[in-house]
């Protein structure tokens, strides 16, 4: 089966953030520096920015109640642990999901200071019962210009856009699908992200990140 999702970013769970980030750098990606989240969240990330979306590499810094779900998913191994769907009006989109019998958590607002300004975003998580194999959420960026920086979008391998996502339990994500054919294609298979790049290639990052990266010539 395959369908389309309006993906804002995919979340790759890794037990060793430095090693996972280095694995992406070794195959030609620019990866953002480590950013630690709040003590309550107990997580940190590095990101690979793309046109219209990005890859978030997420790791646990300190076990907390807030990251219990991430830890349970990571106990099963590194790999695709979650999908964030883009939203321009998170309150309305969360309500629309509820009307479709997709249970959502309360909208929460976050911010963190960066060297160039205050990064602000809002999320609403899909309840565990809807997608038990993944942590899914709606995400609205209030300051996208502070995240999609020109230097971060330059990759020596030519990566530009996320074309498709393969993952073993893709059927769980079907309830979140869109009717927009330009959105990212999702299908059932071993964890693999397919992106446009300078040439056709397949990179095996299963040892550090639990997935493969496929590149297709743009």
Q: Dump pLDDT digits (tens) for 126-147.
A: 999 999 999 999 999 999 999 9
Per-residue pLDDT band at 65 (split at 50, 70, 90): very high
Lowest model confidence (mean pLDDT) among 73-77, 178-182, 183-187, 210-214:
178-182
Q: The pTM is what? A: 0.96
Residue 3 forms beta bridges with which residues?
186
What's the confidence (pLDDT) of residue 186?
A: 97
Higher local confidence (pLDDT), 85 or 115:
85
Residue 212 forms beta bridges with which residues?
192, 204
Q: Dump pLDDT digits (tens) for 25-42.
A: 999 999 999 999 889 999
Contact 201, 158 (CB under 8 A): no
Superfamily of domain 2-217 in CATH is 2,3-Dihydroxybiphenyl 1,2-Dioxygenase, domain 1 (3.10.180.10)
- Mean pLDDT, the chain, whole residue set: 95
What's the confidence (pLDDT) of residue 71?
A: 97
Q: Dump pLDDT digits (tens) for 148-199.
A: 999 999 999 999 999 999 999 999 999 999 888 889 999 999 999 999 999 9
Residue 1, pLDDT above cutoff 80: no
Write out the two tokens for 188: 């059932």
């Amino acid at each position: 089966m395959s369908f389309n999702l309006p993906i804002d970013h995919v979340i790759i769970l890794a037990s060793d953030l430095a090693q996972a980030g280095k694995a992406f750098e070794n195959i030609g990606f620019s990866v953002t520096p480590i950013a630690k989240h709040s003590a309550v969240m107990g997580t940190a990330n590095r990101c690979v920015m793309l046109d219209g979306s990005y890859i978030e590499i997420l790791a646990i810094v300190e076990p907390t109640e807030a990251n219990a779900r991430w830890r349970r998913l990571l106990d099963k191994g590194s790999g695709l642990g979650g999908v964030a769907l883009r939203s321009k009006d998170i309150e309305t989109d969360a309500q629309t999901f509820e009307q479709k019998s997709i249970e959502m958590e309360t909208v929460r607002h976050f911010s963190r200071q960066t060297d160039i300004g205050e990064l602000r975003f809002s999320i609403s998580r899909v309840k565990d019962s809807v997608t038990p194999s993944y942590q899914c959420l709606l995400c609205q960026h209030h300051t996208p210009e502070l995240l999609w920086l020109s230097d971060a979008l330059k990759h020596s391998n030519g990566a530009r856009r996320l074309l498709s996502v393969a993952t073993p339990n893709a059927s769980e994500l079907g309830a979140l699908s869109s009717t927009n054919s330009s959105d990212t294609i999702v299908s059932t298979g071993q964890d693999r992200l397919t992106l446009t790049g300078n040439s056709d290639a397949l990179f095996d990052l299963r040892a550090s990140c639990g997935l493969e990266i496929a590149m297709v010539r743009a």
